[in-house]
């Protein structure tokens, strides 16, 4: 027991040290840009979804974790209504006036539209915000399926609220009862300002993430539960195909349409349903032949995936509390559900690609990898694996070598820590 407490204490100290270094680096970038220190830093994590892909916009279940990669906005309040932005990672800048929130210039860079959208909706809902100078930076890979856009929307939301608050010097804590409301606002930003008809998962986990816990989220009611992971010597490992997801947005919207079509048809036999989440797998199997083949495949995947999420969370919650360093049967079963999830995404939902399938196949062939699947919208982006610590070196060596031999590029591999959700750092952390 003492050993475990000591290990937890050392891990906490390492995390605090990493956080301190991150804040210091971001503050320095702001000072280099604007000539004086920031007042506060709003920081929001990316996410990786362990299981439950493409179920969120079908009112289903998901099980993501927040990861220790962040979009950060270092800022200081202005006395006027101007917002001056500098995105240091792309060396781009943009300015706008809060009073002109309903008109977006065609010249506005894509990243700026998220901040313009956040400012517009916050004001529409009567929230007090203020002008600010801001530097945006982060290490959530763009276009990799780790929710950099959600992290940007969430950090922008907290930054504008902090700029309009008298409490910002003390860190501007976000009340728990407001986080779901803010997640919904950030989802609307994606819909109305970025043209992506996404679900609610990414924004919610970025706000509600908890260290070393997965978030079991009901995407209809937004009821949620933090479930301890207890990975017992295993690590969450993300592999980036480095393939741009050029088809993701258009195909994503097509999948939504197919799911809606399936619901409309199945209402003839299963009344009082409003989404695929309402359909039991046994009922679906009775009527699936009534659907066009393509619609049938899309619906089958979503309905089966919802069942997999429920089973996966149940496994974690009922595991023996005496977790050992050995792989336990429940964790092996969890990995099996991850594998089945990828198979469904590949065969029925058809959002995988040869690069994602290759990374998955390589990972599954390595002893010590208990599960691997694509994560995110698909057509590129990342896989997520659960890997035993003794297999990490072999995993990294083989994945890089075999992927490079077959694809011609080297994948990026991230060993991730499960982190807390978004927060604002004020005077205490910046001093």
Q: State whether residue 345 is helix, strand or coil.
A: helix
d(CA 65, CA 205): 7
Paired tokens of 22: 């991150």
Q: What does residue 361 show for φ and ψ, rounded to 5 degrees?
A: -65, -40
Q: Among 185, 100, 94, 92, which residue's Cα sits nearest to residue 133?
A: 94
Q: Among 56, 69, 220, which residue's Cα sits nearest to residue 155?
A: 69
CB-CB contact of 312 with 63 (8 Å): yes
d(CA 136, CA 41): 10
CB-CB contact of 371 with 338 (8 Å): yes
Q: Among 103, 104, 98, 187, which residue's Cα sits nearest to residue 149?
A: 187
d(CA 368, CA 372): 11
Q: Among 255, 239, 258, which residue's Cα sits nearest to residue 247?
A: 255
202 is catalytic: yes
Q: How many helices (DSSP H) and strands (DSSP E) are in the chain? A: 12, 12
Q: What does residue 387 show for φ and ψ, rounded to 5 degrees?
A: -125, 135
- From the list 202, 264, 357, 361, the catalytic residue is 202
Length in residues, the chain: 431
Active site members: 202
């Amino acid at each position: 027991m003492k050993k475990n407490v000591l290990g937890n204490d050392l891990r906490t100290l390492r995390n605090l040290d990493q956080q301190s270094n991150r804040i210091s680096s971001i503050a320095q970038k702001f000072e280099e840009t604007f000539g004086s220190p920031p007042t506060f830093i709003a920081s929001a994590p990316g996410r990786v979804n362990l299981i439950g892909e493409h179920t969120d916009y079908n009112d289903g279940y998901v099980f993501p974790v927040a990861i220790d990669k962040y979009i950060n906005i270092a800022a200081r309040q202005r006395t006027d209504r101007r917002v001056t932005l500098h995105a240091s990672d792309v060396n781009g800048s943009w300015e706008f006036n809060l009073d002109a929130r309903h008109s977006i210039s065609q010249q506005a860079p894509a990243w700026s539209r998220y901040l313009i959208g956040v400012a517009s909706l916050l004001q529409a809902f009567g929230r007090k915000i203020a002008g600010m100078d801001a530097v945006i930076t982060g290490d959530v890979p763009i276009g990799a399926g780790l929710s950099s856009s959600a992290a940007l929307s969430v950090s922008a939301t907290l930054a504008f609220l902090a700029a309009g608050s008298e409490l910002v010097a003390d860190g501007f804590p976000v009340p728990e009862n407001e986080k779901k409301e803010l997640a919904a606002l950030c989802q609307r930003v994606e819909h109305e300002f970025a043209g992506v008809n996404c679900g609610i998962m990414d924004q919610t986990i970025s706000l509600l993430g908890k260290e070393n816990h997965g978030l079991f989220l009901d995407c209809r009611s937004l009821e949620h539960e933090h479930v301890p992971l207890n990975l017992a010597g295993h690590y969450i490992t993300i592999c980036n195909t480095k393939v741009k997801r050029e088809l993701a947005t258009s195909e994503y919207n097509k999948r939504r349409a197919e799911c809606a079509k399936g619901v409309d048809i199945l209402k003839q036999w299963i009344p009082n349903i409003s989404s695929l989440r309402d359909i039991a797998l046994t009922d679906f199997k009775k009527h699936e032949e009534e659907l066009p083949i393509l619609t049938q495949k899309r619906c089958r995947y979503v309905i089966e995936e919802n069942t997999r999420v429920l089973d996966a969370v149940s496994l974690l919650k009922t595991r023996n509390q005496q977790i050992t360093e050995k792989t336990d049967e429940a964790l092996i079963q969890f990995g099996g559900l991850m594998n089945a999830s990828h198979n469904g995404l590949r065969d029925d939902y058809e959002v995988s690609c040869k690069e994602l399938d290759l990374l998955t196949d390589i990972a599954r062939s390595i002893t010590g990898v208990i599960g691997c699947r694509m994560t995110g919208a698909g057509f590129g982006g990342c896989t997520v694996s659960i890997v035993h610590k003794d297999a990490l070196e072999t995993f990294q060596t083989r994945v890089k070598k075999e992927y490079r031999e077959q694809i011609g590029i080297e994948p990026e591999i991230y060993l991730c820590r499960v982190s807390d959700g978004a927060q604002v750092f004020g005077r205490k952390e910046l001093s």
